[in-house]
Amino acid sequence: MVPAGSTLADIVSSAILGGVTIVQLREKTMSTQAFLTTARAVHQVTQRHNVPLLINDRIDVALAVDAEGVHIGQDDMPLATARRLLGPDKIIGVSVGSPDEAREAIEASADYLGIGPCFDTKTKSVRRDELTGPRGVRAIWEAALQAEGPVPARAVAIGGIGPSNAAHVLGYSRSMVLPGTQARALDGLAVVSAIMAAASPRAAAAQLAGQIRHAADVAWPALLRDPGSSSAEIVSAIADVFSSVRAPGAARPLVQHITNMVVINDSANACLALGGSPIMESLAADQQHLVPLASSLLVNIGTLDLAAMAGMRAAMRAAGEHHRPVVLDPVAVGATPTRRALVAELLEHHGACVVKANAGEVAALLGSAEVPMNGVDSVGGGFADPAAAVRRLSAMHRCVVAMTGRVDYVSNCAATVAVRNGHALQAEITGAGCMAGTAVAVFVGAARANPLLGALAGIVAINLAAEHAARRPDVHGPGSFRQALFDEMHALTRQHILDEAAIELVPG
Ligand code: 3NM
Ligand code: MG
């Protein structure tokens, strides 16, 4: 990957200046002589910057250049033997691809784990079924944390990781965070091509370091932020989010939509009426240009085609790279294998900030048969414990979940809020749920520091508008209701929210 006119040592130096904190030298085909020469040159650079150098696999080379440690794979020298040869002070890292390998490595006193391969990579040939995905990284990391090791586990994820998925992998693979338990993130990421093959290794390293900081300092604290400790406090915070969008002179949050052809016009109008500004564009090649302009991205899988699916992937990659919150509406996700596979892929490989779904869709995502579906609509009484269901899905995907129904439930897994606003006529028009997704996207775009509050603001706003529309004397049924709904979204005020929002914190 080293371009003509540059040397490996130059690239390592630039990468360290960009923010790399540890370097592994991996040469699978070089002669021992050439490996030693390269290792000496790279070690001079890393020593100058006070960054440890690890040699992949070759204990002899590590000893010869007095590197700070080695990295060993599952087929390399056993850890205990490597430790005997290197002594107690050298760093020994191990590649692990399963919970068993992780436990074994921790019990044998590995200093850190390289967990992967996470995604497909051109750097190393791996079978598809060997890819762990972020979910596998999480399972392996949690196994390591629970293993009986004499040193605290340290770990990085590796394989196909770059700026568009770095923050997501770190967020998604955090060990579990139920109330009262401590979340524990990976210590970092290991990459080859994202830095080595970049036009500017220094800029690439800096961007990755920024993604790592974003995951730890911005995205995670925002996800788990408290909405407030009483209903009154939460309603007032929701009203503040609403006002921040509606204040005279406030910039309208731009919402990039990839949505379905049934609701596209209604969603664009709902976005405008609520105070946002819609973009409705699904072309994959445009996403890297549009998503950075937007405050948030709405992805709705209502009507699928291959072009829109490519657009969704490109848009969510761009959202990851530019830290834009994604609202995912997994319409009828349980109905077909294609929908199930697409949503699983989008959630696991890119991640959402908010999932907006009905009870049937939440059940499908949880793999629960509790709520049957009829086409795209959920039927029956819903979950026996709806708050527990949204909390569980929120924990599973490390995102806010907004579940719509007669009562709506919104959770960030630490706190769950029930919303009792809305009107039965919402179930009589098509696209009411999709417009709720748009409403969530408008306010999540404006409330980045607390997506739970943003989602609540969207859900409360659309439901109050529905109540107001249904009360109008000129509304006689679904047609006139739909018309009035846009007027009432537009006419909604902060005072309406303060006076009429019917929300409560659900204990547990
Ligand atoms: N080891 P890139 S994946 C060298 O899973 C290596 O142990 C892996 O390269 C493991 O960042 C991998 O270019 C390749 O995908 C990483
Ligand atoms: Mg490896």
Q: What pLDDT, in 10s, does the model give residues 368-421?
A: 888 776 665 665 568 999 999 999 999 999 999 999 999 999 999 999 999 999
Beta bridge partners of 345: none
Q: What is the mean pLDDT of residues 112-136?
A: 92
The verdict on residue 46 lying in a domain is yes
The verdict on residue 3 lying in a domain is no
Looking at the structure, do residues 113 and 219 belong to the same domain, yes or no?
Answer: yes
- Whether the pLDDT of residue 118 is over 80: the answer is yes
pLDDT of residue 442: 98
- Show the tokens assigned to 344: 């699983």
Greatest C-alpha distance within the chain: 88
Looking at the structure, do residues 160 and 261 belong to the same domain, yes or no?
Answer: no
The verdict on residue 372 lying in a domain is yes
The pTM score is 0.94
pLDDT of residue 373: 63
- Domain endpoint, select from 202, 223, 244: 223
Looking at the structure, do residues 309 and 260 belong to the same domain, yes or no?
Answer: yes
Whether the CB of 93 sits within 6 Å of ligand 1: no
pLDDT of residue 146: 85
Distances (CA, A) of 294 to 12, 98, 252: 35, 39, 10
Pairing mode, strands 254-258 and 277-280: parallel
pLDDT band of residue 22 (cuts 50, 70, 90) is: very high
The verdict on residue 2 lying in a domain is no
pLDDT band of residue 124 (cuts 50, 70, 90) is: confident
Whether the CB of 121 sits within 6 Å of ligand 1: yes
Cis bond before residue 117 (omega within 30° of 0): yes
The CATH number covering residue 342 comes to: 3.40.1190.20
- 3-state DSSP of 166-223: HHHHHHHCCECCCCCCCCECCCEEECCHHHHCCCCHHHHHHHHHHHHHHHHHHHHHHH
411: left (phi over 0), alpha (psi -120 to 50) or beta: beta
pLDDT of residue 490: 98
Whether the CB of 166 sits within 6 Å of ligand 1: no
- Domain endpoint, select from 223, 242, 269: 223
**115 CA to middle of ligand 2, Å?**
8
Q: What is the pLDDT of residues 85-105, one digit of tens each?
A: 999 999 999 999 999 999 999
Whether the CB of 231 sits within 6 Å of ligand 1: no
Looking at the structure, do residues 456 and 493 belong to the same domain, yes or no?
Answer: yes
pLDDT band of residue 1 (cuts 50, 70, 90) is: confident
Whether the CB of 117 sits within 6 Å of ligand 1: yes
Ligand with an atom nearest the CA of residue 115: 1
Looking at the structure, do residues 155 and 211 belong to the same domain, yes or no?
Answer: yes
Looking at the structure, do residues 349 and 497 belong to the same domain, yes or no?
Answer: yes
Ligand with an atom nearest the CA of residue 157: 1
Looking at the structure, do residues 274 and 200 belong to the same domain, yes or no?
Answer: no
**93 CA to middle of ligand 2, Å?**
10
Whether the CB of 136 sits within 6 Å of ligand 1: no
Whether the CB of 421 sits within 6 Å of ligand 1: no
Q: Which ligand 1 atom sits nearest the alpha carbon of residue 116?
A: 5
- Whether the pLDDT of residue 451 is over 60: the answer is yes
The verdict on residue 279 lying in a domain is yes
With both helix axes pointing from N to C terminus, report the angle between 264-274 and 451-471 in degrees, rounded to the nearest 10. 100
Pocket perturbation via mutation, ligand 1, pick of 29, 131, 192, 208 by most ligand atoms within 8 A of CB: 192
From 276, 226, 233, 294, select the one nearest 492 (Cα to Cα): 276
Pairing mode, strands 416-419 and 408-411: antiparallel
Whether the CB of 503 sits within 6 Å of ligand 1: no
pLDDT of residue 182: 63
Calpha distance 153→150 (Å, rounded): 9
Looking at the structure, do residues 319 and 382 belong to the same domain, yes or no?
Answer: yes
**123 CA to middle of ligand 1, Å?**
6
**Domain range for 268:** 225-506
Looking at the structure, do residues 296 and 169 belong to the same domain, yes or no?
Answer: no
Q: What is the pLDDT of residues 235-277, one digit of tens each?
A: 999 999 999 999 998 999 999 999 999 999 999 999 999 999 9
Calpha distance 253→470 (Å, rounded): 27
pLDDT of residue 159: 96
Catalytic residue among 271, 353, 399, 434: 434
The CATH number covering residue 138 comes to: 3.20.20.70
pLDDT of residue 334: 94
pLDDT over 90 percentage in the chain: 86
pLDDT of residue 508: 80
Pocket perturbation via mutation, ligand 1, pick of 29, 71, 112, 158 by most ligand atoms within 8 A of CB: 158
Residue nearest to atom 12 of ligand 1 (CA): 159
Domain count, the chain: 2
pLDDT of residue 47: 98
Which of 375 and 450 is assigned the larger pLDDT? 450
Q: Cα dihedral sign for 217, 163, 355, 143?
A: negative
Q: Cα dihedral sign for 472, 477, 478, 479?
A: negative
Q: Is 434 a catalytic residue?
A: yes
Q: What is the pLDDT of residues 198-243, one digit of tens each?
A: 999 999 999 999 999 999 999 988 998 999 999 999 999 999 999 9
Q: Which ligand 1 atom sits nearest the alpha carbon of residue 115?
A: 5
DSSP E strands, 339-455? 354-358, 373-374, 377-378, 400-404, 408-411, 416-419
- Domain endpoint, select from 194, 223, 252: 223
Residue nearest to atom 4 of ligand 1 (CA): 124
Q: What is the pLDDT of residues 465-504, one digit of tens each?
A: 999 999 999 999 999 999 999 999 999 999 999 999 999 9
User: Any idea which residue has 């440890």 for tokens?
Assistant: 52
The verdict on residue 1 lying in a domain is no
Looking at the structure, do residues 397 and 282 belong to the same domain, yes or no?
Answer: yes
Looking at the structure, do residues 388 and 376 belong to the same domain, yes or no?
Answer: yes
pLDDT of residue 377: 61
Looking at the structure, do residues 144 and 28 belong to the same domain, yes or no?
Answer: yes
Which segment of 132-141, 171-180, 454-463 scores lowest on mean pLDDT? 171-180
